[in-house]
Structure 1
Amino acid sequence: MEKKLSREKILFFQELEMDRILSAFKLNPYDILECPMEADEKQITKIYRKKSLLIHPDKVKDPRAEHAFSLLKQASLHLQDEKKRNALDEVVMSARVVCLKELGLPANIDGDDERLRGLIPSFEERVRKGTKEMMIDDEVRRRRAVRIQHAAEGEEQRKREDAENERKRKVEEKEQWENNRQDRIDNWRQFQKGGSSGKSKKKKINAKGPPLLG
């Protein structure tokens, strides 16, 4: 009985964790991994291992496990990449400064400052919301830039294709001109021959003079 309850408890926690990961803000690895900003690489690895063991697709029959596990792994790799993490932290710090400014507080106060206590919503929630909004704005700008780049690349590709088609057309015209060269020569000779014959006949007719009137 106890084993059965223990198993059901594990299944319950697995389901809760998958729900949390899949509903987390996908652009913020801290949210996906449920990891504090001040965590070092060892702490990040520890958090990842604990959560990944809980929802690993090899241990969980839920079809959502594979996607949840993939998101968890990507979040861990993102936070362990120094360059990517620094860029992420800059966004979070910018959101923090904005929140402090809105509260009329200096940007250099500590997170445990008494002036940040008892806020509704809490200061952490405000920063999280501000971070999300900034990340969404950045993502929208990034996607717009990608679309513009793709459009420009498509236009360049179209120009290259048009230029290539024009080159092929000229080559084909030149080949056709060369292939028809003998026909043109023959036609010209025939024309010249026919023209000379016509002139001779005309001269003979003129030599007879006008017809006599009876």
Structure 2
Amino acid sequence: MSDVDNLLNAEQSALAKDQEIERILGCCQWDYFDLLEIDPNEQDIPLKVKKTFRRKTLLVHPDKVSNKKAPVAFDRIKRAERVLSVNPETTSESDKPLLVERERLLAIYKDASTRADQKNKKQIVKLVEEILNDEIKSEQIEKDFERRQEANKIEELNKIRKERELKKKLESKWEDDRDVRVSNWRKYTSKVEKKNTKSKKVKKKVLA
């Protein structure tokens, strides 16, 4: 093979990698079947996923591609591989959320297939994307609401804590100033008594 042929092959390979990266980034990031180009009706999905992922890794792995977008594309198909490879029979506790995610995606595809032309895969994928985006948006709104509720709760607890701390400081200061208050009161009563005694003596002298 000549140098020209090698150069052309290299250019074609680079073009194919760039095209695959752009395709992945153009997919809905939560549609793992579309990311890996796998039919959800496949008989042995986990096996198909492993083979497909291995093949696509050669096209988008950051260590094998110079494209700056490769890391994002690889992360997406890696996530797809993790979710779709989960075995319901041997799923660990930590992987259960992945299984739930896969089952949800399968249910969405089933719903989309009944609402669209089953022969039109693009139409089904588009509908799946719309459903996923709506669900993710709803989940995000719910999470934002929960975060606000939690923030308000924390703010209220902090307010109560500060009020308690202030109350303790005031009580402590009141107790610390007790001796001063007693001393001042004694001085005051002593002055009053002396004044009253002096006043009485003056009155007696006038009467005499």
Match of 1:97 in 2: 114
CA distance in 2, matches of 1:15, 1:127: 26
CA distance in 1, matches of 2:24, 2:189: 90
Match of 1:142 in 2: 139
Provide TM-score, normalisation by structure 1: 0.83
CA distance in 1, matches of 2:169, 2:203: 50
CA distance in 2, matches of 1:200, 1:153: 68
Deviation at 1:62, TM superposition (A): 1.5
Match of 2:91 in 1: none
Aligned to 2:49, which of 44, 55, 65?
Answer: 44
Asked if residue 151 in structure 1 is aligned to residue 180 in structure 2, the reply is: no
CA distance in 1, matches of 2:104, 2:129: 14
Match of 1:130 in 2: 127
Deviation per CA, 1:106-133: give whole Å up to 9, x if none.
xxxxx5xxxx5xxxxxx32322222122
List, as ranges, runs of 4+ consecutive aligned residues in structure 1 with deviation greater than 6 Å. none
Provide TM-score, normalisation by structure 2: 0.86
Q: What count of residue pairs does the alignment treat as equivalent?
A: 191
Aligned to 1:5, which of 8, 12, 15?
Answer: 8
CA distance in 2, matches of 1:94, 1:4: 47
Q: Which runs of 5+ in 2 are unaligned?
A: 87-98
CA distance in 2, matches of 1:64, 1:137: 26
Deviation per CA, 1:41-73: give whole Å up to 9, x if none.
111110011001122111111211111111111
Asked if residue 191 in structure 1 is aligned to residue 194 in structure 2, the reply is: no
Aligned to 2:103, which of 65, 86, 102?
Answer: 86
CA distance in 2, matches of 1:61, 1:126: 33
Match of 1:103 in 2: none
CA distance in 2, matches of 1:133, 1:65: 25
Deviation at 1:210, TM superposition (A): 7.0
CA distance in 2, matches of 1:19, 1:48: 16
CA distance in 1, matches of 2:58, 2:66: 13
CA distance in 2, matches of 1:209, 1:21: 113
CA distance in 2, matches of 1:8, 1:173: 78
Computing the radius of gyration from Cα coordinates, the structure with the larger value is 1
